[in-house]
Chain A
Amino acid sequence: MKVNFFATCLCDTVKAEVAKKAVLLLEQLNCEVIFPEKQGCCGQPSLNSGYIEGSKPAMKAMIEAFEVNSHPIVTPAGSCAASIKKYPDYLADEPEWAARAQKLADRLFELTQFVVNEIGIEKVGARLPGRAVYHPSCSLIRKLGVREEPLKLLANVEGLEMLPIKNQETCCGFGGTFSVKMSEISGEMVKEKVAHIAAVEPDYLIGADISCLINIAGRMSREGKPVKVMHIVDVLMSR
């Protein structure tokens, strides 16, 4: 099947490897991946800071970028998927655009959601021996309702042992601009998250949202913790 790929600005600029592996994974699962080049950022830094009006031209550009075809759109980030799914609300006072945004939102899937629910596969043949902690991002579990899909995929990774941690579903403290606007609070939240992760001494920290991972990895690096931070596609492409 043909799918469009939404790379997200963070993957596109600083973590291209994650986006690459996502593409390779989709191709392994017999998808033909299209990259509509006019895509930009989902707009969260602006939208979540309250600048709705100013974000509208970019939202419209994004909608147009993906109207090049009507195939599903897949993205390796829960927060970006959730952000785009709110476009219809933001554009509510322009009904034509709101309808186009809704069409876009309806064909947009977070990666694990797409693999497990749309393609229907839970075992991709990955192998990664070791002990790991999974960080469920707030966007994924509370905005998109994607709880089980990453866990199903990870359960089928050969050799991988998943460990529970304290307050597993508590926010890592990224929150987009919150991490720099309220950096003291954000810092305390990520310190607490790292403490809970480190307490079980895992080999890996795995997540499905690059923004959370950059946040947690940034703190773990500062503390010199020897935990390897991996996006779930890194894990799923491990052999």
Chain B
Amino acid sequence: MSMKTSNTKFRERINVQMKDEFMRQSVANAQERMFANRQIAADKLGNWEEWREMGMDIRNHVLEHLDYYLQQLSDNVVKNGGHVFFAQTAEQATEYVEGIIKQKNAKKVVKSKSMVTEEIGLNAMIERNGCEVVETDLGEYILQVDDCDPPSHIVVPALHKNRTQIRDIFKEKINYQGSDDPEEMTRYVRNHIRHDFLEAEIGITGCNFAVAESGTVSLVTNEGNARLVTSLPKTHIAVMGMERLVPTFEELDIMISLLCRSAVGIPLTGYVTALTGPREDEHCDGPEEFHLVIVDNGRSDILGSEFKDILRCVRCAACVNTCPAYRHIGGQSYGSIYSGPIGAVLSPLLGGYDDFKDLPYACSLCRSCHDVCPVKIPLPDLLLKHRQKMAQEKITPVSERAAVGAFNFVNARPILWDTTVKVGAKMAGYMIKDGKLPVSVGAISEWNEARDLPQPDGQSFRSWFKNRKQD
């Protein structure tokens, strides 16, 4: 899988997704809880706006000096015995990892959840080399077992599945004979893939935040799989989006505190693991070899553009958890591994407008995402910027450009506008009956799908005002 997860058109996809009552209920429930928990955690910490400001400042500082901090990070990784590969493209990144797999003659890789590895299509490459790859994060495992069903949420990827569906998947694919009780199924998976952790030659993770001053990669998890992946196999490869770092441990404190509360509403996740290099010589567990793969894959273009604020993102999904559009259409509607408001901004940037041009319009500009982002990314403004770019590049439909053109023509000419309003008010009064026009086409028919048209008052305001002045 790469970032793109579907070949159907956006409106077809959402129509299919919106018929999935379970998914919609599931997403609505999840949103409610995650949104509430985030607020509770923020309130309990106190001074949340100050924390957000610090988060924004730290991320901006790093982005402005990204070349220096990546230099410092890579220096420190190799000083501690690790390797660093700078990958401009997805292909370069997967090729490098492929080289390690071949060199180790690896037959099994265990992975902990990493969006950037999905983005670059890493698993496909691993399997092409005759090597098994096991997604060990429970949500990702469920999707992998289910013939690689795409994730529907950045933090809780199997959100769209209910326990019965999961039980059926496990029954069919991994010989599970038990009930649909989540605890029972979780225990089964624990036992079922335990041996994979012990057998794998290579463990692959993402990186929540690297720390430049020490060459450290930090992982924010709950299940313990990331710890196993980075402690048992002899080789650890961490793949990192190039912007995911902080200068020192002091900034790490702020970012982790914001991330854990924004994502899952708790002060710290079960395991925050800071890994530096391969293990020391006298230790007997931990990897003997460590590789850090730093991925650009379009991020530097974003850095140099008007969209650079999106690179502050810490992948907490707080925006996803508040978005009303997401609530109704679900994550798989976005056709990208990145869904919700972050997905609507990022997917067209990394993947282009051809595949993702609809996403910036799947938004009512309500701005609730803007209010929850822990690093104060102006998401609605970035979505508007996409719309502006698409208007400029004439990617929008011809009919829309014509209608807007006509509207702007009239609106710029007060006398013309005045007449249009007066005539329009009268005509609307005559023609709209019982919430419908005699002929329903285009925008009017779209509106009419779910709503009646307003009952007009029949005369323009300005006519009334003018006439009364004359009295």
Physical contact A–B (CB less than 8 Å): yes
Which residues of chain B from 434 to 454 have any CB-CB distance to chain A below 8 Å in the complex?
435, 442-443, 446-447, 449-454
Q: Does B325 lie at the interface of the complex (its beta carbon under 8 Å from any beta carbon of A)?
A: yes
> Do A222 and B370 form a contact, CB below 8 Å, given A20-B461, A185-B325?
no
Q: Please report the C-alpha to C-alpha distance between residue A12 and residue B362 in the assembled complex, in whole angstroms.
A: 29
B390 interfacial contact with A, CB 8 Å:
yes
Binds B, one of A104-112, A198-206, A212-220: A212-220
Spot the interface stretch: A33-41, A114-122, A123-131, A147-155: A33-41
**A103 is an interface residue with CB less than 8 A from chain B:** no
Which of A53, A57, A182, A187 lies in contact with B362, CB distance below 8 A?
A: A182
| Cα A170 to Cα B366 with chains together (Å) | 8
Q: Given A45-B404, A49-B396 in contact, is the A188-B453 Cβ separation under 8 Å? A: no
Interface-facing stretch out of A91-99, A156-164, A171-179: A171-179
What is the CA–CA distance of A189 and B329 in the complex, to the nearest angstrom?
Answer: 10
Closest Cβ–Cβ distance, residue A49 to chain B (whole Å) = 6
Which segment of B207-215, B348-356, B417-425 sits at the interface? B417-425
Contact of B454 among A65, A170, A214 (CB under 8 A): A214
Find B450's partner among A23, A35, A176, A187 (CB 8 Å cutoff).
A187
Q: How many residues of B contact A (CB 8 A)?
A: 64
> Please, what's the 1-or-0 string for B450-465, where 1 marks a CB less than 8 Å from any CB in chain A?
1111101101111111
B14 near A185: Cβ-Cβ < 8 Å: yes
Query: Residue-by-residue, is B1-20 near A (CB-CB < 8 Å gives 1, otherwise 0)?
Result: 00000000001001100100
B413 at the interface (CB under 8 A from A): yes
Does B412 have its Cβ within 8 Å of any Cβ on chain A?
yes
Contact of A180 with B447 at beta-carbon distance under 8 Å, contacts A37-B414, A57-B412 already known: yes
- Shortest CB-to-CB span from B271 to chain A, Å, is 34
Judge if A1 is at the interface, Cβ distance under 8 Å.
no
Within 8 A of B (CB), among A40-87: 40-41, 43, 45-46, 48-55, 57-58, 60-61, 65
Contact B370 A51, beta carbon cutoff 8 Å: no
Instruction: Kindly report which residue of chain B lies nearest to residue A60, judged by CB atoms.
Output: B412
Contact pick for B408, options A55, A65, A173, A176, CB 8 Å: A55
List the one stretch of B172-180, B184-192, B254-262, B381-389 in contact with chain A.
B381-389
Instruction: Identify B421's interface contact among A12, A174, A181, CB under 8 A.
Output: A12
A219 to B428, CA, bound (A): 19
- Asked if residues B462 and A12 are in contact (CB atoms below 8 Å), the reply is yes
| Cα A23 to Cα B464 with chains together (Å) | 11
B29 within 8 A of A: no
For the complex formed, measure the closest distance between the CB of B350 and the CB atoms of chain A, giving whole angstroms. Answer: 20
Please tell me if the beta carbons of A189 and B325 are within 8 angstroms of each other in the complex: yes
Q: Residues of B contacting A143 with CB < 8 Å?
A: 367
Closest to A39 in B: B414
Determine whether the beta carbon of A188 is less than 8 Å from that of B414: no
